[in-house]
Structure 1
Amino acid sequence: MPIRGSVVLGNSLGHSTQYFKSLEELDAWTDNPTKKLTTPLKYHPRKPKAEESNPKGKLLVCHDYKGGYTESPVDLSYTFNYWSACDSFIYFSHHCVTIPPHGWITAAHRQGVKMLGTLIFEGGAEPDCLRLLVGKLPKSSTGPAVHLSSPSSIPVSPHYARVLAELAEERGFDGYLLNFDFEQTRALSTWITILQSEMRNIVGPHSEVVWYDSIIVSGKLAWQDRLNSLNLPFFLSSQSFFSNYTWRNDYPNLTAQISIWVTKMFCRALHPSLNNFIYVGVDVWGRGSHGGGGFGSYKAITHISPDSLGLSVALFGQAWTWESEQDKPGWTWQAVNNDEVPVPQVSKRTGEPDCTHWSLSSPSRRSSTITHPPIPCTSLCIQQFSPGVGHGCEKGWTDVDKQTSVGDLVWPQPVIAWEGEDGDISLRLSLTDQGSPSVYRCIWLPTTYEATAFYKLDVAADLDVSLSVKSSAEDTVTITPLTGNDTTVAQGWVKLSIQFSVPSSSSSASIGLVIAIVTEDPSESLAASLLLGQLNVFRAPSPSPSSSPMILWADYSSQGALTWEVAASLPATVQRPFTSAEDPVPLWDIQPCRDPSFLYYNVYASPFSSPTYAGRPEDATWIGTSGYSGDAKKFVVESPVKTRTRFYVQGVTEHGDVLPWERCVFVDSPVL
């Protein structure tokens, strides 16, 4: 048991902040960072399963026991003991940001199960949800340097996506369930891609973002009970989909059909089948769930068909087995063995096909695959056969952190197997690859790149300058000039842009400038020079319209420090007309959006010439570049600002492009 006695002293229950009721509370946590927790066990995946042409579905469990956070070291509480059948576990509550308790995280990770928190914005939380998209707001007077001439979406900031990922990394959990009631759906779907990117960068590639079937593309709260075109953009923006649980028994088949079409059209290169990432909801409390919930929940699972359709199961409220009984007068666990197990009788819905189910008493019927914990070479295999609760004090105790597997060969039904006389234990590391005479092997993945160069003629001359790439092998590099190649950007600088693919036989390639001299008399000597400002090579972006980076706001502190935040906005687009709920094509193009990346930022200053006028941003004086202080989005003004001054912040993207002024910001220093 965790403590001796019946009184909890001090902050012995773990971290001081268990959840956040609002983003304002989350901001307060951000302003006062805490040390990373060391108690949760680090996640290590289970041994990968062999490749299957039709992989079986997975099991996600969504825990909602009495609103959450009921665990006490001096009381008997609910714990979960079926980790070997579970792939992901969500600790759910109705707080804005739900953080799984560290004990639950350790118990899940010990068995190779992902532990997810919850991010929820229900009715009335629209201001907080809007804040989630645009990011934390400054306290200074700030605004766009030049107002946008064309309409675009509301700005989408990576601020809270980054904060939430940092929170998950600090506390040791692996992702979030997203449950939203909000109208700005297109910007929201873009923000989800940012969250997923931040989670992968900060938490790791195993992180998971799950979208709950709540709002549709119009922003209306309308549970669809399946995947269709009305909620498809949110699924494609996240990693997994959790359907509502009031579905008819033919809905899983409809979901599987649209998943097949989506896989063929969008995701074949990423996933052979998306069905595993679609969790069909089953409410154990039976609120409109097929089979009536409770001990009739298995009826719903048979229609989800994890073995045949490959869809996954999301089991919500599994603690019903405790919560529905434990508060009844005179009830004890010791008397439960002889009770009859009731299976609810539920009438068929109107228009629902007939269906039959096997009996609950049928032996050896499993709807999920039993899996093993991580291999010992990556994570210690500890078996104490503790369910995480006990009766060792006045009212019992709970310590989920100490929970280990109870043993799927022992409980709930023993499975007997003769092990023979060979008790040797060995570890075999296997690496599978196709045969090759080479001692050293590598796999080449063909990639298309873009290259940009910024040059400026130092002496007037008639020169034709272009970019070129040469392979180290004899193969020819495919080069395609891009639209807008050879474009004058500002102050005489010219931008060159090409796209190229390196052949598989090349181990390296050279990139440079090809300069053609144009002259009427080639016999005459020529003196010419040019300045090469930047040369960038990067992976070619998606051909679909992408987001545009911007600086969202800037702030000025009394100590003379400038800070700012970045965001991205989407281009104006025409939404495809809605045709049918069965149409697998989303109503708008899904545009993955990550944290806008900048090489650096230039800072300019312009004193006010009158109480209300500080001049144009083009006329401001450059005073420095960010980065020297070690903070990419901070600049400290060395000299005290004695007169009211307007500062401009202008970013240079990772591709070398200088942001136009309409995508930059200003901030005013106060009057001393």
Structure 2
Amino acid sequence: MPLRGTQHSPAFQDEAPFFDSLADLDAWSDKAHHTSRGVLPYHPPDDDGGSKGKLLACHDFKGGYYESPSAVTYTFNFWPLCSTFIYFSHHRVTIPPSGWTTTAHRHGTKMLGTLIFEHQESEGDCLRLLFGKLPTSKTGPAESSNDDTVPTSPHYARVLADLARERGFDGYLLNFEYHLRAGGGVGQTRALAAWIALLTAELKTKVGPHAEVIWYDSVVFTGQLRWQDRLNNYNLPFFIPSTGFFTNYTWPPTYPSLTAQYLHSLAPPIRGPKTPRSVYTGIDVWGRGSHGGGGLGCFRALEHITPAGTSTALFGQGWTWESQQDAPGWDWDAWWALERLLWLGPESDETAVVVPPAPLRKGEQECPHGPFKPLRAFFEPRTSPDPARLPFWTAFCPGVGWSWFVRGERVLQTDKGWTDVQKQSSLGDLLWPRPALRWEHGERDEALPVATPTLHFAHGWIGGNSVRVAFTLQGSDAEDAFFRCVWLPVQTLAVTPGVSYDAHVIFKADSGPTADLDIGLVPKLNSTNDTPLDVSAISTAEDLPHGWTKQSVQFTVDSNASLEDRRVSIGLVVGVAAEDPSQPLEFAVVLGQISVHACAPSPPVTIAAPRILWADFQRTPPPEAGAKTTSLGTLSWEIAATFPSVSVSTNIPSVEDPNPIWHLDTSDRWMPAFSYFNIYVHAHSPSGYVGGPEDATFIGTTGLDGKANEIHIGKEVLPKEVLDSEAREVRFYVQGVTDRGEVLAWNRCVFVDAMLR
């Protein structure tokens, strides 16, 4: 949510982002509240990473909720490797921020919240969880009873499932890190295991069959807090009603295989559908008791987990930021370099990565390991959801920036930057750490160019940045070297055979003075099979403002293609014409946007066009005497779809004519959807003159609060010229950006006039 100004009000963020007690949760539940319609629903990926273990990432960054519209901070960018993401904090109930949930779902990743009980002050809530909401009236059993067992109430299972449904996330991590003593311990733990089954059932009913309940290895069946570092009989009662198990991270090297062996020893009725992939073996990236020492040494732990076939839970991956942020000369670029190294490895295979030796824990024998391996080496990347179900669109945004661009124009420049995970999109999974180039039209004897990608914050087509791919091409004396073509892969997608897709790229070419570039958008099949891939140009290259160019193609994978032929790489063929090919060349391609979606139905089906219908502004009531507020009001609007004019024939058809008067698209996704909205403002002049939208000043976007079609307006986002003007009235403009990256023309947007004084 890039916003003008600083020190923004919490009103720009999610309402009730967490709860510190179950009583607070009840107070929320008793009030009327609305579903977060601005959160993208979960869309499963079209593959789950094959037979390898899955990756769960558990976010524990500075206590959580650190994202700011006026500062740059940590973001997670490796969603294709991650099947499940847990937003973790030490509040009783942690709700994932809406922007994080939307971005996870955009990549086919599940997003979980956290229910945690730790320290003595949580003991009362541990019991309340099972007894349910406490009454305010005098109550008791109708007749005396000797039943003194701990009951299991469904109340909080219902409330927590309602919370997940309304905020749009997919389940919970359960972390009980305090002794359970009621009923002799086992009475409370048995009731808790039954409650977990209730929660799992409620979530699968209200959120969907994909919902997850993951138990953290903490208390055992006696109620004592005894981390086991593996799955065994002591924590089995909690694993059975859950969907997954997250082990503690201080395990010795033999434990992952012991976990898998124990799971296989369970009788099928007990094990159910669970496999070793249902167990997430923990690794602490900070290295607190973890085998291998954490950090760049995480691969040492993974070399024991992967052969056992279990999944992996990575805890505290924000280590790359927090452990280095006070180092001299540290900045975002330094963090991004370390982050890429941990996850993707060095840019060159010849680069040796120095990994500190792993400290030996008490009683641990030395365990030899080879050279550094990045996390990606252990997991099969998953593709984003099929663009036929969810349009694929990326502006290569890492979720941070210092500027904001709309159709190539910089409309906002900040000093300290901004963070908005909701704006995050794929960085191009085939670009990093270096793209695997190959010659087009057959192999050549000369070396391939060296391509180096960088996130380019100085220029962008839409959002906060672009990706600049710099090429270095050696000179050649070959007869045909005056024109050489190379394939630059950018993004992997899984598509449906037989379905036609439109693909669009917006880019800039920087050829330098001694070469000309000829660039074309080309999808290619990932497999080596001879499956046909039909590609045709939709239109010629389109010149866009500020030196950008758009190219569009349509492609279809043969309807008889096998599952392995569903993966397609979207990329560019870059042709280089050199004045003197014997000399080395340097040139670059700047990528601003890629979008892929299913083709619109063919005529005579009428296609709807998106627009914004109206806007409204509701002023904030004046504060009470002595109170201060920067809030001005709430700006809201409604979206709509319109159709071309209907041409009705003068010939009245027969009542038996089987041809409908018009043909509408009645598929599930016919209604245009929006990703976010840009907001602009300018003041009415004292004379009453109001300029057009081109005279207005950008003040921000939607995205941080999970609300659809509204945004809080505070004084801090208004430009100085508006605040300093004598005008009592301003005009806000609302500009939509669709889920395909289309910025609506102003004649399809709206304004609203608002009194501020």
With normalisation by structure 1, the TM-score equals 0.59
Q: Is the 8 A contact 1:390 1:396 kept in 2?
A: yes
Match of 1:45 in 2: 44
> 1:415 deviation in Å?
2.9
Query: Counterpart in 1 of 2:266?
Result: 262
The 1:321/1:131 distance shift into structure 2, 3 A limit, reads same
Q: In 1, distance between residues paired with 2:46 and 2:328? A: 46
Shift of 1:152: 5.7
Matched to 1:239, the amino acid is: T
Alpha-carbon distance between aligned partners in 2 of 1:334 and 1:87, rounded to the nearest angstrom: 27
Matched, 1:358 2:351: no
Can you list the C-alpha shifts for 1:296-317, whole angstroms capped at 9, x where unaligned?
1111111101xx4220000000
Q: Give the whole-Å Cα distance in 1 for the aligned partners of 2:305 and 2:428.
A: 27
Alpha-carbon distance in 2 for matches of 1:226, 1:203: 29
Q: Distance in 1 between matches of 2:191 and 2:558?
A: 49
Equivalent position to 1:380, from 386, 391, 398 = 391
Q: Does 1:245 align with 2:241?
A: no
SS in 2 for 1:28: helix
Match of 2:308, SS state, is coil
Q: Structure 2: which amino acid aligns with 1:36?
A: T
Q: How far is 1:80 from its partner?
A: 0.5
Cα distance in 2, alignment partners of residues 196 and 301 from structure 1: 29
Q: Percent identity?
A: 52
For 2:556, the aligned partner's letter is S
Moved more, 414-423 or 325-334: 414-423
| Candidates 151, 156, 174, aligned match of 1:155 | 151
Equivalent residue for 1:119? 115
**Per-residue CA shift, 1:399-431, capped at 9, x if unaligned?**
110101112101233233653885362367899
Which position in structure 1 is the counterpart of 2:215? 211
SS in 2 for 1:396: strand
The 1:415–1:152 alpha-carbon spacing in structure 2 relative to 1, beyond 3 Å, is farther
Larger mean CA deviation between 155-164 and 362-371 belongs to 362-371
Deviates more, 1:91-100 or 1:179-188: 179-188
Q: What pairs up with 1:592-611 in 2 under 5 angstroms? A: none
| Local SS of the residue matching 1:11 | helix
Please report how far the alpha carbon of residue 383 of structure 1 lies from its aligned counterpart in structure 2 after TM superposition.
Answer: 1.4
Kept after mapping to 2: 8 A contact 1:70/1:77? yes
For residues 378 and 363 of structure 2, what CA distance do their matches in structure 1 show? 27
Contact 1:263 1:274 in 2 (8 A): no
Structure 1 residues 372, 162: CA separation in 2 closer, same or farther (over 3 Å shift)?
same
Change (3 A) 1:224 1:368: same
Residue identity in the other structure for 1:26: L
Q: Per-residue deviation at 1:256?
A: 1.0
1:62 touches 1:318 (CA, 8 Å); kept in 2? yes
- Give SS of 2:239's match: helix
Q: Which residue of 2 aligns with 1:398?
A: 419
Question: 1:404 and 1:28, CA in 2 relative to 1: closer, same or farther beyond 3 A?
Answer: same
3-state SS, counterpart of residue 393 of structure 2: coil
The answer to whether residue 308 in structure 2 is matched with residue 309 in structure 1 is: yes
Matched, 1:94 2:94: no
CA distance in 2, matches of 1:85, 1:103: 19
Q: Equivalent residues in 2 for 1:409-428 (5 A)? A: 409-416=430-437, 419=524, 422-423=534-535, 425-426=555-556
Contact 1:129 1:182 in 2 (8 A): no
Q: Which has the higher contact order (CA 8 A, sep 6+)?
A: 1
1:366 is paired with a residue of what secondary structure?
Answer: helix
Alpha carbon RMSD of aligned pairs, Å?
A: 2.5
In structure 2, the CA distance between the partners of 1:224 and 1:397, relative to structure 1 (3 Å rule), is same
Distance 1:323 1:254, change over 3 A: same
Equivalent residue of 2:378, what SS? Answer: coil
* CA displacement 1:38-63 (0-9 Å, x = unmatched): 1110001111459x7xx321000000
Distance in 1 of aligned mates of 2:196 and 2:10: 38
Kindly state the Cα deviation for residue 293 of structure 1 after the two structures are TM-superposed.
0.7
Shift of the alpha carbon at 1:105? 0.3
**Is it true that 1:369 corresponds to 2:380 in the alignment?**
yes
The answer for the alignment partner of 2:101 in structure 1 is 105
Whether the 8 Å CA contact 2:230–2:247 is kept in 1: the answer is yes
Q: Relative to 1, partners in 2 of residues 1:431 and 1:209: Cα closer, same or farther, differing over 3 Å?
A: farther
- Whether the 8 Å contact between 1:134 and 1:155 is mirrored in structure 2 is yes
Cα deviations by residue, 1:163-182 (Å, 9 ceiling, x for unpaired): 00000000000010000124
User: Would the aligned equivalents of 2:74 and 2:318 in 1 still touch at CA under 8 Å?
Assistant: yes
In the other structure, the counterpart of 1:236 is 240
Larger strand proportion, structure 1 or 2? 2
CA contact (8 A) 1:250 1:352 kept: no
SS in 2 for 1:2: coil
Q: Which runs of 4+ in 1 moved over 6 A?
A: 427-432
Aligned partner letter, 2:250: T
Distance 1:235 1:12, change over 3 A: same
Deviation per CA, 1:452-500, whole angstroms, max 9, x where unpaired? xxxxxxxxxxxxxxxxxxxxxxxxxxxxxxxxxxxxxxxxxxxxxxxxx
- 1:94: Cα distance to partner? 0.3
Superimposed CA distance per residue, residues 565-600 of structure 1 (whole angstroms, 9 cap, x where no aligned partner): xxxxxxxxxxxxxxxxxxxxxxxxxxxxxxxxxxxx
Partner deviation per Cα, 1:331-388 (whole Å, 9 max, x = no partner): 224457699965221244455455322211x689711111101112222212111101
Say whether the 8 Å CA contact 2:534–2:556 is kept in structure 1. Answer: no
Quote the Cα distance in structure 2 between the aligned partners of 1:286 and 1:16. 35
Aligned residue pair count? 421
Query: 1:106 corresponds to which letter in structure 2?
Result: T
Measured in 2, the distance between the counterparts of 1:412 and 1:86 equals 18
Is the contact between residue 278 and residue 311 of structure 2 (CA under 8 Å) also seen in structure 1?
yes
Instruction: Give 2:67's aligned residue.
Output: 71
Q: Deviations over 1:252-292 (max 9, x none)?
A: 1111110111264623xx42x52010000000000000011
Write the mapping of 1:322-341 to structure 2, written as runs, cut at 5 A: 322-334=321-333
Are 1:293 and 1:344, in contact at CA under 8 Å, matched by a contact in 2?
no
1:168 counterpart residue number: 164
Map 1:210-609; keep pairs closer than 5 Å: 210-262=214-266, 264=268, 266-267=270-271, 270-271=272-273, 274-305=275-306, 308-334=307-333, 342-349=354-361, 352=364, 354-360=366-372, 366-392=377-403, 393-416=414-437, 419=524, 422-423=534-535, 425-426=555-556
Report what 2:8 is aligned to. Answer: 8
Give the AA of the match of 1:399: D
Cα distance, 1:32 vs. partner?
1.0
Deviations 1:108-160 (A, max 9, x none): 000000000000011211111100111001111211212335x3631110001
Cα pair 1:73 1:398 within 8 Å, conserved: yes
Provide the rounded CA distance (Å) in 2 between the counterparts of 1:378 and 1:63. 28
> SS state of the match for residue 395, structure 2?
coil
Relative to structure 1, is the Cα distance of residues 334 and 404 closer, same or farther in structure 2, using a 3 angstrom cutoff?
closer
2:53 to 42, 53, 57: 57
Q: TM-score, normalised by structure 2?
A: 0.53
Contact 2:47-2:382 within 8 A present in 1 as well? no
Shift of 1:391: 2.1
Query: Structure 1 428/24 Cα, relative in aligned 2: closer, same or farther at 3 Å?
Result: farther
Secondary structure at the aligned position of 2:23 is classed as helix
In the aligned structure 2, how far is the partner of 1:363 from the partner of 1:220? 37
For the pair shown, which has the larger CA radius of gyration, 1 or 2? 1
